[in-house]
């Protein structure tokens, strides 16, 4: 796909105060018509969290709107600077709380890139398995809430039912349902329990027919189609200019998935397809994501087969300067004890420098930029939050649409406010 200079779109994104200025100088025009400025949120059932939208309306039509974010700003990037590399993995979970493993992954991937640390194959395979489970988990919440916003309530209950299975798997693995903090630099935090693989297999067998069930409820549903087809169209050039990523980009017909195009964690060795839409409307985004769930099951199955072959291989690197030794070793080896002590009191020291790593999270390209000054604490960590950047497209997409479509649009972009505001 080649684009020429004149084709690159220039898109205006208003700010909330520019819209507020409209409200201040709001005089009726010669026909006596007057626009109305509406503040939607931050406490609103369909903004998926604490998002505020300043909307200028002409009757039912959106003239322009501006997202006002920051109501959940948590200072995660600054807090990470005060903790060691390992400790701050906990904080990354809580950005995109629907896909904690993806956040863990991108953070450790950036550090690994910086340190040129390699990861054992078994750990990589398990990571792929978990990332795909996370993708399913996140898409299920998206599907449930998206349908709920468009008044299809039962889908929500269906989706949350399957999500509980995944949460049970995560709980079995890490002890926590949502905030798993399971990835470490150089591998994983601990080994998988013995009955983990059979449980995941059970889940995948159980889950695949359920996707058809969701599709039965929505895909050919007349109401659903009327609310989503042809609504909120983004063309490919605009999508790229707005920095959309993930299913939002692919629904517009751009075949760009980091798992295929810039593979990490061994994704190049798996067989799977990347669903690409054409129309770039809400319906295509929906189709892409639902299809992605099926592809995730495919990848997870392949990963399981590999993990079964790799029994007994390490789950974390043997590099004792990065990963602590197993507890059993500490009892007889003085050196292990020193490593253990050093790692837990001080942490490891990556070399000076910086690195940017990006992976395909359920929402799009999540990236992490790490700057190290050679001390055990990062100098600066910045996350490219896909929700933050996808949300930026909302003013462009919603222009001229109906107010009721705005609700569908927000849900279809799938923002997670924790990640938007960090």
| Residues in 120-149 that interact with another protein by CB under 8 A | 141, 144-145
Q: What is the DSSP string of 251-292?
A: TTT----HHHHS--TTGGGS-------SS-SHHHHHHHHHHH
The token pair that represents 406 in the structure block:
């705005």
**SS3 of the chain: helix, strand, coil, percent, to 5:** 50, 10, 40
Q: CA-CA distance, 401 to 232, in Å (whole number)?
A: 8
Using CB under 8 A as the binding rule, whether residue 9 contacts another protein is answered as yes
Task: State in angstroms the smallest separation of the CB of 163 from another protein.
Answer: 7
Please, which residues bridge with residue 320 across strands?
none
State the minimum distance, in angstroms, from the CB of residue 338 to another protein. Answer: 29
* 63 lies in the binding site for another protein (CB under 8 A): no
Of residues 316-375, those binding another protein (CB under 8 A): 353-356, 358, 365, 367, 369, 371
Can residue 21 be called a binding residue for another protein (CB under 8 A)? Answer: no
Using omega within 30 degrees of 0 as the cis cutoff, is the peptide bond preceding 107 cis?
A: no
Structure tokens at 167: 């949460």
Q: Find, among 235, 349, 338, the residue nearest to 284 by Cα.
A: 235
Pick from 90, 63, 67: nearest CA to 79: 90
- Report, in Å, the least distance between residue 256 CB and another protein: 6
| Interface map 170-209 toward another protein (x if CB under 8 A) | -------xxx------------------------------
26 vs 371: CA distance, rounded Å: 48
Contact indicator for 394, 232 with CB cutoff of 8 Å? no
Cα distance between residue 414 and residue 37, in whole Å? 24
Q: How far is the CB of 322 from another protein (least distance, A)?
A: 16
> In the set 227, 287, 339, 384, which binds another protein (CB under 8 A)?
384
Least separation, in Å, of the C-beta of 333 and another protein?
Answer: 33
Instruction: Name the residue nearer to another protein (CB basis): 231 or 358.
Output: 358
232 counts as binding another protein under rule CB under 8 A: no
Of positions 58, 205, 226, 261, contacts another protein by CB under 8 A? 261
Verify binding: residue 11, another protein, rule CB under 8 A. yes
If binding is defined by CB under 8 A, does position 313 make contact with another protein?
Answer: no
Minimum gap (Å) between residue 157 Cβ and another protein: 5
Q: Least Å distance between CB 202 and another protein?
A: 17
Size of the site for another protein (CB under 8 A): 86
Quick check: helix, strand or coil at residue 196? helix
Q: Take residue 91 and report the two structure tokens written for it.
A: 């904080």
- Yes or no: say if 169 and 199 are a contact pair by the CB < 8 Å rule: yes
The binder of another protein chosen from 36, 118, 151, 164 (CB under 8 A): 164
Stretch that binds another protein, among 112-120, 192-200, 264-272, 317-325 (CB under 8 A): 112-120
Residue placing its CB nearer to another protein in the complex, 45 or 326: 45
Sign of the torsion angle spanned by Cα atoms 49, 50, 55, 57: positive
Select the span of 110-118, 227-235, 277-285, 334-342 touching another protein (CB under 8 A): 110-118
| Least gap, CB of 82 to another protein (angstroms) | 6
Within 13 A of 321's CA, how many CA atoms are on the CB side? 10
């Amino acid at each position: 796909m080649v684009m020429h200079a004149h084709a690159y779109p220039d898109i205006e994104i208003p700010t909330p105060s520019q819209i507020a200025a409209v409200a201040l100088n709001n005089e009726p025009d010669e026909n006596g018509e007057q626009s109305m400025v509406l503040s939607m949120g931050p406490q609103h059932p369909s903004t998926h969290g604490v998002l505020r939208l300043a909307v200028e309306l002409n009757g039912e039509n959106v003239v322009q709107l501006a997202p006002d974010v920051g109501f959940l700003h948590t200072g995660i990037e600054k807090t990470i600077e005060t903790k060691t590399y390992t400790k701050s993995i906990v904080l990354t979970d809580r950005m995109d709380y629907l896909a904690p493993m993806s956040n863990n992954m991108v953070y450790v991937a950036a550090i690994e890139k910086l340190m040129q640390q390699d990861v054992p194959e078994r750990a990589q395979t398990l990571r792929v398995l978990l990332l795909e489970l996370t993708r399913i988990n996140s898409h299920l919440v998206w599907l449930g809430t998206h349908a709920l916003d468009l008044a299809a309530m039962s889908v929500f209950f269906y989706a949350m039912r399957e999500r509980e299975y995944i949460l049970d798997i995560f709980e079995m693995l890490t002890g926590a349902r949502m905030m798993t903090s399971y990835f470490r630099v150089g591998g994983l935090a601990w080994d998988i329990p013995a009955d983990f693989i059979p449980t995941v297999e059970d889940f995948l067998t159980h889950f695949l027919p359920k996707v058809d069930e969701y599709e039965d409820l929505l895909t050919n549903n007349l109401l659903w189609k009327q609310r989503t087809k042809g609504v909120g169209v983004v063309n490919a050039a605009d999508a790229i200019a707005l920095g959309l990523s993930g299913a939002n980009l692919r629904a517009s017909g751009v075949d760009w998935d980091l798992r295929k195009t810039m593979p990490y964690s061994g994704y190049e060795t798996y067989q799977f397809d990347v669903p690409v839409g054409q129309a770039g409307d809400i319906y295509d985004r929906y189709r892409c994501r639902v299809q992605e769930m099926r592809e995730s099951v495919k990848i997870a199955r392949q990963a399981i087969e590999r993990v079964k072959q790799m029994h007994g291989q390490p789950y974390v690197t043997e590099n004792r300067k990065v990963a602590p030794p197993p507890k059993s070793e500490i009892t007889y080896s003085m050196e292990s004890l020193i490593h253990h002590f050093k790692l837990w009191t001080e942490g490891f020291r990556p070399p000076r420098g910086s690195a940017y790593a990006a992976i395909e999270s359920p929402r799009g390209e999540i990236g992490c930029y790490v700057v190290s000054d050679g001390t055990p604490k990062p100098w600066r960590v910045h996350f490219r939050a896909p929700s933050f950047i996808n949300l930026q497209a909302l003013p462009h997409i919603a222009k001229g649409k109906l107010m009721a479509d705005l609700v569908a649009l927000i849900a279809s972009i799938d923002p997670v406010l924790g990640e938007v505001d960090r």
